[in-house]
Structure 1
């Protein structure tokens, strides 16, 4: 099947947003989580939302466009729940708190199932996977890189590339936690989260200590 999402120019609903659209979004979200992307039809979404197919297609021209809108909405919600660290709190504490929020926002919540759906469909719909990455993980990396640039300007950190440093930091503080959760092999505990964060934070700070 050909990927029908024209990304980055995401298809937008042609009908105005409102209560019916909110109902459609909630119904679609639950169906996708319960049955996956392939097994969810637009007919099923319309029935679950209590709207006609004509109304549904007025909002979303295709199932792919509907799912893309869910991706954008979810990533916006995730970014809202992940506030930027503040250097005034101190470098270590600011990074520690960001790491805690990052783990809880991107790993320790129901969205793991949503990521699984995207991963399962990435072969047929690579633009959906790309849209999710750019709206979620990449957006987080870029936001964190801005904070790291601020810390470098204050001579608290030293590195060559802020994007690369942000990627390394996130990799270090999350450790194997995402893999364990996605595979369903373990339940996260506060102790596990704190242990991974402290180990990753300490390694990162030692690696990026200013030389001089």
Structure 2
């Protein structure tokens, strides 16, 4: 049995339940209005259990964001060096947009925006653990393929941001406004394909 399919221990189950409960409450009630006591009651655990897993409410928020990225498979394991750069970036594009356009991601984004005046540090926590981690992941990959001579990118960080912003496209604008957008549609898949191809043409070695 693989690590990913093995049954969770009681401690892991509690941790997962705390994370899911916290994210739901942060998004529905707002970060400032969600107490650790309320999370403990809703998750059916003691407050001491929460603090044994997470040192503070900020740490719990950060862990929730990190977990969403890992569940979306946005990690170093995403890139398979046996495939072409185009194939790897196409897979990255699909997983990235499925995450960033998901209901959970949009809810967290709105929570940070609504809290920006009273809790500006919340946006920084989200940016560091979510967007910045993805930017760094893609930047390091683009550095590697540039060093191998497969692409010619003078500024991998800037190129990573360019690609990410292009991939978000109309879908992110629509989702932020509460409008429907289907990440499984043929139109979306074609948009991702053409965006990656445009990116590769621009940075072809």
Which TM-score band applies after superposition, normalised by the shorter structure? Answer: 0.7 to 0.9
3-state SS, counterpart of residue 34 of structure 1: helix
Residues 82 and 98, structure 1, Cα contact 8 Å, conserved in 2: no
| Counterpart position of 2:33 | 39
| Counterpart position of 1:88 | 82
**2 CA distance for matches of 1:49 and 1:178?**
31
Distance 1:167 1:128, change over 3 A: same
Distance 1:82 1:123, change over 3 A: farther
Q: Which runs of 5+ in 1 are unaligned?
A: 1-16
Give the superposed CA RMSD: 2.8
**2 CA distance for matches of 1:147 and 1:103?**
18
The offset of 1:58, in angstroms, is 6.6
Residues 46 and 53, structure 1, Cα contact 8 Å, conserved in 2: yes
Distance 1:157 1:26, change over 3 A: closer
| Counterpart position of 1:198 | 193
The offset of 1:76, in angstroms, is 4.3
Q: Is it true that 1:150 corresponds to 2:144 in the alignment?
A: yes
Distance 1:160 1:46, change over 3 A: same
Q: Is it true that 1:171 corresponds to 2:165 in the alignment?
A: yes
The offset of 1:120, in angstroms, is 1.6
The offset of 1:163, in angstroms, is 0.8
- Normalization by structure 1: what TM-score? 0.75
3-state SS, counterpart of residue 82 of structure 2: helix
Q: How many residues align?
A: 194
**2 CA distance for matches of 1:20 and 1:198?**
40
Residues 24 and 46, structure 1, Cα contact 8 Å, conserved in 2: yes
The offset of 1:35, in angstroms, is 2.4
| Counterpart position of 1:140 | 134
Q: 2:94 aligns with which of 72, 97, 100?
A: 100
Q: Which runs of 5+ in 2 are unaligned?
A: 1-10
**1 CA distance for matches of 2:74 and 2:89?**
17
Deviations 1:57-86 (A, max 9, x none): 676675445434433443444455784323
**2 CA distance for matches of 1:92 and 1:59?**
40
Distance 1:177 1:208, change over 3 A: same
Larger radius of gyration: 1
